[in-house]
Structures are given as C-alpha cells and as structure tokens.
Structure 1
Amino acid sequence: MRRKLLAFGAAVLAALASILVSVQPASAAVGLHVSGTKIVEANGREFIMRGVNHPHVWYTGQTSSFANIKALGANTVRVVLGSGKRWGPSNDVANVVALCKQNRLICVLEVHDTTGYGEEGAAASLDEAVNYWISQKSVLAGQENYVVINIGNEPIGNTNAAQWTDATANAIKKMRSNGFEHLLMVDAPNWGQDWQYVMRDNAQTILDADSRHNTVLSIHMYAVFNTASSIVDYLNRFQAKGWPLVIGEFGWQFQSGEVDHETILSEAQSRGLGWIAWSWSGNSDPILDMTVNFDPKQLTTFGTRIFNGANGIKATAKEASIYSGSSPSPSPSASPSPSASPSPKPGGCSATYKVVGQWSGGFQGEAAVTAGSSAIKGWTVTWTFANGQTVANAWNATISSSGSSVTARNMSYNGSLGAGASTTFGFLGSWNGSNSVPTLSCTAT
C-alpha cells in the first residue's frame, strides 16, 4: 500500500505405493516454507517476520536503507518492485536480493503494480505480475532460503472483489507450473484490507491451489481495523481454521478512528504472527513513515514505536537461522557449480565459483567451499580476476583484495567443516566489458 490508505488388490496397492514414493519428494519443502500455521526455515526452525516495507522502486538509490533497517533490529524487509506496467520495471532484483543477504534480512519481494486492480485503471493484473516473476526467475531460482515472493500488492480494489479468488488461485498455479518453489505470499482484496471478507471466506480454496502447499496469506491492516475487536475477530477466524497468515502491512493510530496498531502488535506477539510495518520512508502520506528522509537517526513517532516500543522489533525480532551459523540446511544455490576447480583432496578443500546474477556494472558472486575426506578447521580461498572485476561487500567470509588478486577467509562460524561438508560465501562486485569465471584455489587449516 500506501500511495493510498485504503493438492483393490495387491497390484493397485503396489501401484499407489510407487506413486506416493515418487510424488512425495517432489512436494518436499525447499527453503522457507509453511508448516501448519507457521513459517519455518529449511532446517525446521520457526521464522516470525518482524520487519518494514521499503519503497525501493520509487527510491532505487536508497540502497543504504537495507543496512539501516537491519541495524535497527529487523529480520525482514518487504521490497516494493515494479513490473513495468505502472512502475519500473525493476531489473535490479539480483542486487536487491544480494543486499538482503548481505544485511542478513529475509527478502519479501512484491510487485506493486497490481494495487487496486479493477478499480485503478492503470493497475496490472495478477497474471501480468506472474509474467514479471517469470522474467526474473533466473535470479530468483536457488534463493528459496532467503526470498519470499509476494505475487502482487493489494491485487484487487473494491470493485468486484470476488474476482480475487480465481485470479489468486490461477496466479499460484502459474507460478508453480513455471517451476517456482519459493514460499508465496498473497495479499487480500479490498486494497489488502478484506473488509468484504473474500479472503477470509475463500482462503482454503487459495491454499488448495498450491501444489507445493507453500502459500501464506497476507492481510493489510489500516482504517478498517480501527478497533481491538475487529482485529481480534479477524485473526481468530484464521487461527481457528489453521490457516497461515501474516500482517503484510499496517499503519498506526495517528488520529481517532484509524488503525489500532497497539492491538496488532500485542496480538501478533501472543499468536506468533509475522508482521511488516509500512513504511521505512518516502511515503506519499508521510505520517506513515518511520524515518525522516530515510535517516535512521531521525525516527518518527511511528518509527520509534515500531522499533523501540513494547512488542516492537528490537524486543521481539529473531534473525533467520540461515544467517546465524546454526547449520541450517544449505540453500539449493549452495550446490557447487561445475568449474575448473579441482576435486576435494584428502585433508584439504576445494572451492567453486558462480555468478548468481549480474546487472549493468555490477554482479553477485557466490563460492562454495567443500572439505576433502577429512574434517578441516578453517579455509582460505584465493583467485585472480582476469577482466578487472572488483569485490565490494561480502557475507559469510572476510575478503581482501590486492589488485586483481582476491583472498577470502572463513568467519568464526563457518570454518569448521566435516569431511565432505560444504559452506558458501557471497559478495557484490563490479565489472565492465566481461565477467569471466575465475579458477579458485582452496587451502585448509
């Protein structure tokens, strides 16, 4: 929001058994996924979103916001993107994801062009939003541990809100048929506020449309939710049905009759519901901003409440375990890509390199380090760039450069690897003209 407030006989049994065996792995969860009413990581640890919305598509130069949002304690950032129908197109998704990972944030990516479809003439349909996600698949595949895809922001206005059910179910099916395995998030109609209860009354249809059973519903709470009773009643109905829900946007009670943010925060905390407040800065109605001019040292009343208040981010947010070194299951992107690097040697290590994504002048690189036939206590990876590339920011390794030579050393939490075990590190870099893949050398300690 808020460029507005508003799945007989022995022969048969054997055949069924073989089908079940073959189907089950295909539906196994990858990365962040729904378990009952909760969102959990690949390792099974519960993840409760505590974050803010960042209007990136309108302020693409405000990339420091990711670090600032993290510094104030958030574990999630919901990033506004454009499909090109109304805003954008956002062709810097690889960079956005890299910024999230660099700052140890879970990245909720949303297409904003769908806002108010059916009522807003310029709005994109959910089908058009899915086409945008398909265009970005190459940079999103393998990021399931870090990225949630919010298919479209507030995808239906107040005109014929009932169309939301079919449009949303079809969007989910199209995402899955195109190979997306990410946790999907879907917003309610009525500008996200569901005051006609279309999402509330049709949620099971939406969840059943997902062959991966990996969709979370999202309610946006503004003026419709101006009393404790309206908030509690709505949340109770989802809880009673066992439906996964997050509060994808909400504002605050800046005047009588507006949203009851205190109840939202307390109820979310008691129920273990994730929430993402609107917005970091730059909102057309600045009363909803948390900072003045994107300055984290200038928190607004709302910002102070969200970050520092009871049930706020600093008091309740827990970082995703994928960043904590607590040995969660590795991301699919951590699987070593073919390269010229040698096979693991006994007592040593090997490293592989790949370009996760690149854009004009910049790219995201990732390396996988694998121990040999014996455990190692630490590792150092070196390589030489052939085309003048440079490394800027890095995560999960300490990287230093001398001219074209680059050295990466393990962090305290990912140096010890068992025989054959792997870890990954990544970085943002710059390139010009060519971005060839270097050969990596790994030394174990």
Structure 2
Amino acid sequence: MKSLFTALAVLAAVLILPAAPAGAATGLRVSGTKILESNGQEFVMRGTSHAHTWYATQTKAFADIKSLKANTVRVVLSGGRWTANTAADVANVVALCKQNKLICVLENHDTTGYGEQSGAYTLDQAANYWISVKSALVGQEDYVIVNIGNEPVGNNAVTPGWAAATSAAIQKLRTNGFEHALMVDAPNWGQDWQGTMRDSARTVFDSDPAKNTIFSIHMYGVYDTAAEINAYLDAFKTAGLPLVIGEFGFNHSDGDPDEDTIMAQAVSRGLGYLGWSWSGNGGGVEYLDQVTNFDVTQLTSWGQRLFNGANGIAATSKQASIYGGGTTDPTPPSTPGTPAVSNITSSGATLTWTASTDNVGVAGYDVYTSTGTSLGSTATNSITLTGLSAATAYQVYVKARDAAGNQSAQSPTASFTTLSGGGGGGCTAAGTVQSQWGNGYVVQPVTVTNTSTSAKTSWTVTFTLPAGHTLTGSWNAAVTVSGQTVTAKNLSYNGTLAPNASTSFGLQAGRPNGNTSVPSGYTCAN
C-alpha cells in the first residue's frame, strides 16, 4: 500500500505541475541535420580526440588542443574495461573543457569492437556507466555531448543487433533523466561498411523520446575515394538526419582514407569532424598521433594537416556561442604590431609586438611562418619560440584572436636566422618590416646583438633581397649590394657592442607592385 500511495502522490504532483513550454531547449540539441546550442546558434564541431582514460595525467592537452583553434574535444573514458573513470574524474574533465572553452564529447571506449574483440562491453553496460557518473553530467547539457559507446559492434553479427541495442541504450539514458544530446557510433568498427547505421538511422532517431541523437561515422580505409565519402554523406542529407565524422585519419592499416575530400566535404556541407587523435597511439597506428609525446610544439604531418591545412581546424572552427563565440560578434581584433625579434639561439627566439584591441577582448595571439605553419600561441603580446631548426631563416607573422574566435589580419612580417648548431658566440641580426606600400617598404630596425661573452668592435650583417627588389636607401650602416645579397657594416659610432648589447640600422627598398615578399636570411659576423 505504501508503494501505491507514493506512486499516486507522485502522479498527482506531476499532474499539477505546469507543462514545459513546447520546444523548450535543454543544452545542445538537434534540428534536422544541424546541431544547435540552446540559444539557437548553429554549432559545427571542429576538433580531435584525446585518450584521457590511458593518459589521465596529460590534462594540459585540453589547453593545447584549444590553442590550435579546436572548438570540441572528444574524450576517451572507460567504465571498467580499463581503469574506470570515476564521477569525480569525469567532473574534472568537464571542468577542463569549460575552462578551455571546448565543447566536451565524452565517449565510453569499453564497447569498441563488441562481438569481435575479447573483453568488449555491450551498449547496455555503457549506458550503466553513464548512469553511474550522472552526477558529473547533470546540468552540463550546454557543454557536454554523451557519445554512448565507441565503435560498439565489430564486423560480426550480434544479438541484439546494432539498431536494437542502440535504441535500448538511448531509451535507458532518457528514462534515467539524461537530457543531453546523445551521439551514437556506427558498427563495423565505426565505419558502417555494411550500411547498418545508414539504413536504420531513422528508426534509431525516432526511438529517442527527446529526438536529440547525433549519428557518428568513423572514416578510415573504407572511405578512400570521393565517391564513397559523398555517397555516405548524401544518405544522411537525404534522410534529414544529423551526422558528424566522429573519427578519421590520413592513413590507416585498412587503407588510405581520402582526408582531403573528408575535410572539404564536411566544410562545404556544414558537418562536424573530429580527427583521431591527439597523442599516445600504439598498436601499429602511432602515425595517427597529431603531436609527438603530447608536445603541442611538435606537430606531426598529420597534425599539421588537420589543424593548419586546407579546410582544417584553424581555418574553419568557430567557438561555441556559450563561450562567446559563433557569429554573434563579427568584429575581429585590430592587427597586431610588427614582431620585434630578440634572444635568438640555434633553436629559438623571442618575439614581442604591439598588442591588439577588440570590443569583446583579445583572447590570445597565434604565430605563423610565412607559409602558414603554426609556431605556437600565447595569451600575451610576447612569445618565446622553441624547437626551431639551427642556421635557418624564418619569416614570421602574428594574428590576434578574440573571445568569439575571430582572427585579426596578419601583422607585418619579421625575419631572422637562428644560430648554427654550435652557436653561442658571435652576433645575431633580425629585421622587422616597419611600414610598406604598393611598390616599396622600410625595414627598421635591423637589430644586431652581441651574443658572445666579450665586447665586439665591429660587425657585418648580410641578408637577401627577394627577386626584383632593389635597395633605395639605408642609414646607420655602410651598405653594399651584389645581385640580391646585401652587406651592411657598422659605422664608426655603432661598431662597439658589449656582451648582450644591441644596435640597429635601417633600409628602404623598392619592389614590383603586389609582391609582398620581404628580405630574409639575416646573418651576422664579427
């Protein structure tokens, strides 16, 4: 009788509560093929996966991933197949995502390859894990997507099948109060080469009482041609269902994915993509590491492609509006000042520039080579670069980034040459473009620094003018030109330099209209 009374009391309470307004949003949600934030702003995922469950101490990865412009991180968790991630740990992961203004896709990796790989968990067990850490997730619907189970079925038939097991897991989470956007991975190790998810996606979507399920395809060797990629993406477009490319790589043991088409089509269709994976891969797929040894300054070729290449994360990612991103603030920061170069070594240099301004605040600065390769990011208007190649000429520029994810125009370029590998003595030289116009520019200062431990009484700087450029003036140095090679020697009043002391000179050059190249290859000798 007591249980019956309680049930009737609860029912009565429910009946007298005001109904929720129709269409009320709780956090991230699905609308047709799109993913929206609770304010209606469209959100398109751009990010990578981080293997947190195996590398739980590598928490700096969250900030590093964000520094490369990602707006999303997919985090590997375990409920017991590996060391279980507790509710406290999950809460800390969510906090790290929020601290770094990343949308958090949390995935349970226990299900990987079920039916084919020994030890794999069922989707029902995955749902039980999410229920066990529910305390870390309730209230985080604006920031968290729950990826129920990674690659939950291998290539073998299982009972219940993928569609039935996925629908049951969705319903179990909804019954237990989960209002989050849910993400479901395809079978066939995520690649759906048999078309199971493609053909039953509508049934699975309709099984979700909240109609808030996102489908995730993993594109590896099965997707090695543009035709295969487009056919799969077209199927979900025709069905009007939300799809993301939840994993992909540039190479794989089962074939060579066409990452160029994957990324280009995702961008043109407004689909999210998440590359695999940040660092720590093993088992023969170490080449999928995007950085070496979790070091953001050591991007691999795959990392460069994903973050800085055509249709890459840096060029296409927009921060979630919950963090002040999206298109609500279209005004970019002002252009940073020309970087001044100092403290040049064989493997690094320090850059300092005039700070940018912005209506919502400057969030940071990003440093690139003239070819567009990222050299790092910083929250201030100064950075010390490391990991550079010895005796190498660099041309670098800076862009500012605001809290909405907008980037400024690039700063004028600065040039410098790192010391030789044995370097310590001698002097260094670095030039900064101060101003420029259609057919000319001024390089000032060209800074000469005594890097030795004894005083110097003279110096000679050489550098190269780009083809077609001509020297039209100079000051504070005796300058001669041979072909495109310029030699500048000290004058009587600026040749003596104490250890660590600097002096400077300047020059003016002419160039063909539209040619924005600048002098390079600065070297200094006694």
Q: Which amino acid aligns with 1:42?
A: S
Aligned partner of 1:293 in structure 2 is: 293
Q: Which secondary structure state, in structure 2, belongs to the residue aligned with residue 297 of structure 1?
A: coil
State the structure with bigger RCO (CA 8 A, min sep 6), 1 or 2.
1
- Which one of the candidate residues 177, 187, 198 is aligned to 2:196? 198
2:50 corresponds to 1:62: no
User: Structure 2 CA distance, aligned partners of 1:228 and 1:327?
Assistant: 30
Q: Does the CA contact (< 8 Å) of 1:78 and 1:110 recur in 2?
A: yes
Identity within the alignment, %: 60
Match of 2:319 in 1: 319
> When the two structures are superposed, what TM-score results if normalisation uses the length of structure 1?
0.67
State the 4+ residue runs in structure 1 displaced beyond 2 angstroms: 21-29, 85-91, 253-257, 325-328
Question: Deviation per CA, 1:386-407, whole angstroms, max 9, x where unpaired?
Answer: xxxxxxxxxxxxxxxxxxxxxx
CA–CA distance in structure 1, aligned partners of residues 289 and 86 of structure 2: 22
Q: Could you tell me whether the CA contact under 8 Å between 1:86 and 1:124 is conserved in 2?
A: no
Question: For 1:185, what is the secondary structure of its paired residue?
Answer: strand
Q: Which residue of 2 aligns with 1:226?
A: 224
Contact 2:70–2:313, Cα closer than 8 Å, also in 1: yes
Q: Secondary structure at the match of 1:104?
A: coil
Answering whether residue 152 of structure 2 is matched by residue 155 of structure 1, we say yes
2:81 alignment counterpart: 85
1:85 positional shift:
3.1
Q: Which residue in the other structure is 2:261 paired with?
A: 263
Shift of 1:327: 12
Structure with bigger helix share is 1
SS of the residue corresponding to residue 21 of structure 2 reads helix
Residue 87 (structure 1) shift: 4.1
Change (3 A) 1:159 1:257: closer
Output the amino acid matched with 1:143. Answer: Q
**Distance change (3 Å), C-alpha of 1:159 and 1:305:** same
Aligned to 1:135: 132
- Residue 145 of structure 2 aligns with an amino acid whose one-letter code is V
Q: 1:315 to 1:325 in 2, by over 3 A?
A: closer
With over 3 angstroms needed to count, the CA separation of the structure-2 counterparts of 1:113 and 1:289, relative to structure 1, is same
| Aligned counterpart for 1:41 among listed residues 37, 47, 55 | 37
The amino acid of 1:74's aligned partner reads A
Cα drift, residue 326 of structure 1: 8.3
* Larger Rg over CA atoms: 2
Deviations 1:232-276 (A, max 9, x none): 111011101111000000011479941110000000000000010
Distance 1:83 1:126 in 2: 12
1:275 aligns to 2:299 (yes or no): no
| One-letter code aligned to 1:289 | D
**Structure 1: unaligned runs, 5 residues or longer:** 1-18, 329-411, 414-445
Number of residues of Structure 1 aligned to a counterpart in Structure 2: 311
- Note the 1:19-418 alignment, pairs <5 A: 25=21, 28-91=24-87, 92-160=89-157, 163-253=161-251, 257-284=255-282, 285-324=285-324
RMSD: 2.2
SS at match of 1:156: coil
Q: Once the two structures are superposed, what CA deviation does each residue of 1:369-395 show, in whole Å capped at 9, x if it has no partner?
A: xxxxxxxxxxxxxxxxxxxxxxxxxxx
Letter in 2 for 1:122: G
In the other structure, the counterpart of 1:396 is: none
| Separation in structure 2 between the aligned mates of residue 237 and residue 326 of structure 1, nearest angstrom | 28
Query: What is the CA-CA distance between 1:88 and the residue it aligns to?
Result: 2.3
> C-alpha distance in 2, partners of 1:183/1:305?
29
